[in-house]
């Protein structure tokens, strides 16, 4: 599917301004407006009920543009890039929210989720740089000394590091938070029924245009299944919750020397791709930032450790798709089972 990409202009239409003709990125049906676009290096689709047919595309694009200026490692002048380059800068509200949540979840998961593993993401090619040709154990070991959320903190409104080589990458949590802040924006406009989907990180509230809970498809975790929604493993019904999915079937490479598959799910503690049997992890949580981070953590932790973790986190609902001797098996937490549309 092709998405129309707009270059950000210095002047934006007033929030909710009506246009004389409906633009290509917008459609309206049964009192529900749908906006399609591109931001944060991925697509977004936002549907909301509004009898006035107000167009919030420009306002949402600007919101996400500001968000990228804070947390995108692909922008040289973003706040996080300045922090990574040890430039004097003051963290903004977006960075602070993500940093605090990342620190919390890193502690809860014993480091299975860690945004300070940026040096490892970079060497494997999952950051802003190209992958190294040959990655050796000594290269990994030299970088692991700069990984750990105990090595970076905020003091008197400033970032403090134990080493200038410590860097951050928030890709595994930022899209979820972007969906959260987009939901907050719609709430300020009095919109009570909506679905926000930014690169698969989803926030829903109220009902869809059929007056029912929103339906969310979970893709089959088949290598090469690159088109979202084309082949589904399951469908969930959801309202007033957030959902995120992490998988190893779209972002991976096969090493030309050893023939092994290396996914983007890097275990920060070992420095290598997580060698677990989880192909896809879907998490439902009260907020999408948390769902996003936990989905990544569970890919690293594997099935048994995730099940143990959930014993103390009843607020999370989890659906794991796993491989077992070349057979696909599912794990559904007890509190998610009623959501499946069979």
| pLDDT (tens place) for every residue of the chain, 342 residues total | 333 333 333 333 344 544 457 899 999 999 999 999 999 999 999 999 998 999 999 999 999 999 999 999 999 999 999 999 999 999 999 999 999 999 999 999 999 999 999 999 888 776 666 666 677 888 889 999 999 999 999 999 999 999 999 999 999 999 999 999 999 999 999 999 999 999 999 999 999 999 999 999 998 886 555 456 567 899 999 999 999 999 865 454 444 445 454 556 789 998 887 776 899 999 999 999 999 999 999 999 999 999 999 999 999 999 999 988 778 899 999 999 999 998
Q: Which of 169, 113, 150, 164 is nearest to 300 (CA)?
A: 113
The reply to whether 138 falls in a domain is yes
Question: Can you read off the two tokens belonging to residue 305?
Answer: 């450790």
Contact between residue 248 and residue 255 where contact means Cβ atoms under 8 Å apart: no
The reply to whether 106 falls in a domain is yes
The reply to whether 120 falls in a domain is yes
The per-residue pLDDT for 20 is: 52
Give residues with Cβ within 8 angstroms of 123, minimum separation 6. 131, 132, 135, 139, 140, 143
- What are the distances in angstroms from CA 184 to CA 70, 91, 239? 18, 21, 16
Number of domain units in the chain: 1
pTM of the predicted model as reported, rounded to 2 decimal places: 0.87
The reply to whether 93 falls in a domain is yes
The per-residue pLDDT for 260 is: 54
- Rounded to whole angstroms, how far apart are CA atoms 3 and 42? 10
- Rounded to whole angstroms, how far apart are CA atoms 70 and 92? 7
- Rounded to whole angstroms, how far apart are CA atoms 192 and 183? 10
- What are the distances in angstroms from CA 293 to CA 105, 109, 123, 280, 283? 7, 10, 21, 14, 9
Phi, psi of 44 (to 5 degrees): -140, 150
CATH of the domain at 145: 1.10.3980.10
The reply to whether 261 falls in a domain is no
Q: Which H or E run includes 195?
A: strand 194-198
The reply to whether 147 falls in a domain is yes
The reply to whether 300 falls in a domain is no
Range of the domain at 106: 88-159
The per-residue pLDDT for 277 is: 85
The reply to whether 133 falls in a domain is yes
Contact between residue 120 and residue 271 where contact means Cβ atoms under 8 Å apart: yes
Helix intervals (H) in 85-204: 93-108, 118-123, 137-144, 171-188
């Amino acid at each position: 599917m092709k998405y129309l990409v707009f270059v950000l202009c210095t002047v934006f239409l007033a929030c909710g301004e009506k246009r004389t003709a409906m633009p290509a990125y917008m459609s309206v049906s049964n009192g529900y407006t749908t906006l399609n676009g591109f931001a944060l290096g991925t697509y977004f689709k936002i549907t909301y009920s509004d009898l006035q047919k107000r167009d919030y595309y420009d306002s949402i694009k600007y919101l996400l543009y500001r968000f990228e200026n804070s947390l995108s490692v692909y922008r040289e002048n973003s706040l996080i890039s300045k922090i990574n380059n040890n430039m004097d800068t003051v963290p903004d509200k977006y960075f602070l929210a993500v940093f605090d949540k990342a620190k919390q979840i890193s502690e809860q998961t014993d480091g299975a989720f860690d945004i300070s593993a940026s040096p490892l993401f970079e060497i494997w090619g999952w950051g802003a740089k190209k992958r190294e040709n040959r990655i050796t154990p000594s290269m990994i070991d030299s970088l692991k000394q700069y990984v750990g959320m105990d090595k970076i903190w905020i003091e008197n409104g400033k970032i403090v590091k134990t080493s200038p080589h410590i860097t951050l990458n928030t890709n595994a949590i930022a899209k979820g938070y972007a969906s959260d802040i987009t939901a907050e924006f719609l709430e300020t406009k009095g919109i009570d029924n909506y679905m926000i989907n930014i690169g698969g990180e989803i926030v829903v509230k109220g009902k869809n245009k059929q007056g029912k809970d929103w339906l969310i498809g979970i893709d089959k975790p088949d290598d090469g299944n690159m088109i979202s929604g084309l082949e589904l493993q399951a469908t969930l019904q959801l309202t007033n919750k957030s959902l995120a999915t992490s998988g190893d079937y779209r972002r991976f490479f096969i090493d030309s020397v050893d023939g092994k598959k290396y996914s983007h799910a890097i275990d920060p503690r070992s420095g290598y791709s997580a060698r677990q049997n989880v192909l896809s992890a879907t998490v439902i949580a009260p907020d999408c930032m948390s769902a996003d981070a936990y989905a990544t953590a569970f890919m690293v932790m594997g099935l048994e450790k995730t099940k143990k973790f959930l014993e103390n986190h009843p607020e999370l609902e989890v659906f794991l798709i796993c491989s077992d001797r070349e057979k696909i098996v599912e794990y559904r937490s007890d509190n998610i089972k009623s959501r499946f549309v069979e």
